[in-house]
Amino acid sequence: MSKTLKIGVFGFGVVGSGLAHVLKNSKGLDASIVKVCVKDPTKERDLPSEFVTLNPDDILNDPEINVVAELIDDADDAYRIVKTALKNGKHVVSANKKMLAHHIEELIQLQWEHKVSFLYEASACGSIPIIRNLEEYYDNDLLQSVSGILNGSSNYILSKIFNENLDYGVALKQAQELGFAESNPTSDVEGFDTLYKLIILTVHGFGLFVHPDQVFNIGISRLSAQDIQLASQKGYKIRLLGKVTKVNGKHVNLLIAPKFVKPTEHAYTVEDHYNGVLIQGNFYDNQFMYGKGAGSHPTGSAVLSDVTALAYNYKYEYKKLKYYGGLEYTNDMSVQIYLRYSKKEDLDLFEFTDISESLTGKDFNYVIGQINLLNLIKIKDQLVDKDLFLAYLGDE
């Protein structure tokens, strides 16, 4: 039998208001929002004033509230809220992927210690129930990889570039105007948002905690017309992908980078602000999940799904952590990359083990070849201000 849920919400922006809307239209669930904590008291909200507070303790110390929905942008504040709520014996629902990527190991321990549930389906892939599926359906050691388009903002930009021939700057501005990208789009377009989500999926898919600093991620902000033209000539689209892979049955690797995607790949068909996740494993081959990855209602629906699960005492079991441990993280693997560069000294940073294609011209230089990820990790910080674009190639 379900139980009554009294919800305290932190943040009433896109996701918080989306939760309120879908909760209002969800029949059969005995749940209600009793308090909302916000930072700006002057901002207009579709909320009665008695529901609004500026003091976090009005939620965290209220014995009537048994569920905290943490839906704010600031990862540091989110961490303090979630940690306190768990210690105070409250169930928690969160959508903050950056906070989770940096603190998930500690927060899992806290929920076990205080015998509460900590759910965060909305932190990864919007409306796609990927975490629940990794927990329930793929709860064995047959999983080989999880990959795909995990960020709707960057995918919207790339879709407009390849489908409508828009310049990168124009497509980005359009994404911002539609609310798919933030005014500061760094997290989306440089691959950090995808990185944080992939770290969460790695915990549930492979039972391994990986720190963001261990992973190579690079984004799409330096994409040029020359890169687009070359990809199109080869019959590819470019998509920003994240992939976690089991290597030789003993190790796990994470990679976030643009990819030259062939028409036969699932990611080729994912357009606009949608996400697409490909799950590969022994015996069940390829399985693909597709859905909206950004926006008020998709993310609000994911939060509501977690709230509904709490009504039936649902908890993540972390079966991979408990029963299938022993995997280690590695960057010692070869990957085929495309590198467009301007200066010879920039090319010299890259220790290619094999080059299959190259061009040196007046305005356009590129190399396609094999390189070890250890080299890319070593030079990662040096690439930030370079005039170059990197993408990888290969199978899904």
Q: How far apart are CA 251 and CA 80, in angstroms?
A: 33
Cβ-proximal residues to 132 (8 Å cutoff; 6+ apart), any chain: 121, 305
Q: How far apart are CA 97 and CA 195, in angstroms?
A: 9
Q: How far apart are CA 237 and CA 60, in angstroms?
A: 47
Residue 140 vs residues 78, 111, 124, 204, 368: alpha-carbon distances, Å = 32, 23, 21, 11, 37
The answer to whether residues 96 and 76 touch, using CB atoms and an 8 Å cutoff, is no
The answer to whether residues 253 and 198 touch, using CB atoms and an 8 Å cutoff, is no
Q: What is the DSSP letter of 43?
A: S
**DSSP-assigned letters across all residues of 67-78:** EEEE--S-HHHH
Q: Is 197 a catalytic residue?
A: yes
The answer to whether residues 45 and 52 touch, using CB atoms and an 8 Å cutoff, is yes
- The CA-CA-CA angle for residues 348, 352, 355, to 5°, reads 110
Any idea which residue has 């892939």 for tokens?
A: 125
The residues with which 274 forms a beta bridge, in sequence order, are 292
Q: How far apart are CA 38 and CA 72, in angstroms?
A: 9
Q: How far apart are CA 114 and CA 84, in angstroms?
A: 11
Q: Please tell me which residue in 35, 160, 197, 237 is annotated as part of the active site.
A: 197
Q: How far apart are CA 298 and CA 119, in angstroms?
A: 16
The answer to whether residues 336 and 368 touch, using CB atoms and an 8 Å cutoff, is yes
Q: How far apart are CA 55 and CA 258, in angstroms?
A: 42
Of the candidates 198, 183, 108, which has an alpha carbon nearest to the alpha carbon of residue 151? 198
Q: Which residues are catalytic?
A: 197
